[in-house]
Amino acid sequence: ALAPRCGWILPGLEQRLAVPALLSPATARPYAAAAKTAKKDAKRSRQEKEKEKEKPPPRRRMLMTKPVDDVYLTWLYRRPSYELEQAVGMLKRFQELDFTSPRQFVYINVFLDMALQKKKKVDPFSSYVTLPHRFTDEVNKVLVFTENEQEAEVAREHGAAIVGGVELVKWILEDEIQADFYVAVPAIIPKLIPLRNKLKRKYPSTRKNNDSLGTDIPKMLQFFRECHEYAVEDESIIKTRIARLDMPTEHVIANLKTVIHDICTFKPSNFDPIVRRLVIRSSTSEGLQLDLDGILPQVEKAEEKEEENTAEEDQQKPVQESVST
């Protein structure tokens, strides 16, 4: 009997089915296709980068100087600069319009240029200055190191908050005693060395603008009890208060110039001024950028002085020659 048609098998077909099919190159080498694709992507990205280099940089829109309307986009205009007296008057006017406290503090933000020669920079610093017009009744807490009973009595009479000798070292290291400033006489300094790392920049010394080591205790106490402290933040910014808004304008200006002149002493005069930008504000107002002309100290460069001297000598020579003849 014949087998059903569906069960027929052609001659030799069984053998051909037993032979494995030929593999394609991509199947035989699975990583070849991926490597080829990656190579094409790298080439395409390289070409795109070259095209980007060939494109001219986008032109930045020139900022306009002065708006003509009361409402405008600030980022389209240069930030205006104001004269110091004008800016203080504007802050006072802002306070009246906003009905805020007239006794609020006035602050300045000083943006510094710390660069020196090559890659050198001015190290971040702190300083203390006596303002010509006090704007707060707060008095700094001053500790005096001395083992002399007479000196200790003088310190107490002139307002020292804490007076003592070596016995205070342990309490300071354990944070049992804290003060705003630390003053010492030279005789006790060798015994205070354990406090050097603890007190850091407030350790008694004779460095610039921090003469907290000496024998004139009344003078040191008077300075540190009333002095104003400021410090560099974020490596190039000083933020500090300088006055109260209800003070006379001339008092605010005098305090600001005192702080700025002290800041300028931390960079040699033969370099660019250390003050790059100056902003003044009150507790509730916006910041006003100040025009630096008339605020920074006028420092004549050595080269200019030499040129002036040589010019004066040249003018005097003909006169002397005519007199001699």
pLDDT of 322 > 60? The answer is no
Integer distance in angstroms from the first to the last C-alpha of the chain? 157
Amino acid, single-letter form, for residue 153: E
Backbone angles phi, psi at 229, to 5 degrees: -105, 140
Q: Are β-strands 181-184 and 162-164 bridged in parallel, bridged antiparallel, or unpaired?
A: unpaired
Q: What is the C-alpha to C-alpha distance for residues 49 and 39, in angstroms, rounded to an integer? A: 15
The alpha carbon torsion through 129, 132, 137, 143 (nearest 10 deg) reads: 30
Share of the chain above pLDDT 70, in %: 71
Give residue-wise pLDDT tens across range 153-197: 999 999 999 999 999 999 999 999 999 999 999 999 999 999 999
Q: What is the C-alpha to C-alpha distance for residues 126 and 124, in angstroms, rounded to an integer? A: 7
| Domains of the chain, start order | 82-124+236-296 (3.30.190.20), 134-228 (3.40.50.790)
Give residue-wise pLDDT tens across range 80-134: 899 999 999 999 999 999 999 999 999 999 999 999 888 899 999 999 999 999 9
Higher pLDDT, residue 31 or 95: 95
Q: Indicate the pLDDT class of residue 41, thresholds 50, 70 and 90.
A: confident
Q: What is the C-alpha to C-alpha distance for residues 122 and 81, in angstroms, rounded to an integer? A: 27
- As a whole number, mean pLDDT of residues 17-34 equals 53
Share of the chain above pLDDT 90, in %: 59
pLDDT at position 158, please? 95
- As a whole number, mean pLDDT of residues 295-316 equals 58
DSSP 186: G
Contact between residue 184 and residue 213 where contact means Cβ atoms under 8 Å apart: yes
Collect all residues with Cβ–Cβ distance below 8 Å to 64 and sequence separation of at least 6: 76, 77, 78
Q: What is the C-alpha to C-alpha distance for residues 111 and 118, in angstroms, rounded to an integer? A: 20
| Closest C-alpha to 186, from 223, 215, 216 | 215
Q: What is the C-alpha to C-alpha distance for residues 94 and 62, in angstroms, rounded to an integer? A: 30
Q: What is the C-alpha to C-alpha distance for residues 206 and 213, in angstroms, rounded to an integer? A: 6
Q: What is the C-alpha to C-alpha distance for residues 266 and 292, in angstroms, rounded to an integer? A: 18
Give residue-wise pLDDT tens across range 45-59: 776 767 666 666 555
Q: What average pLDDT does the structure give for the chain?
A: 82
This prediction's pTM: 0.70
Q: What is the C-alpha to C-alpha distance for residues 146 and 214, in angstroms, rounded to an integer? A: 11
Q: Indicate the pLDDT class of residue 211, thresholds 50, 70 and 90.
A: confident
pLDDT at position 207, please? 76
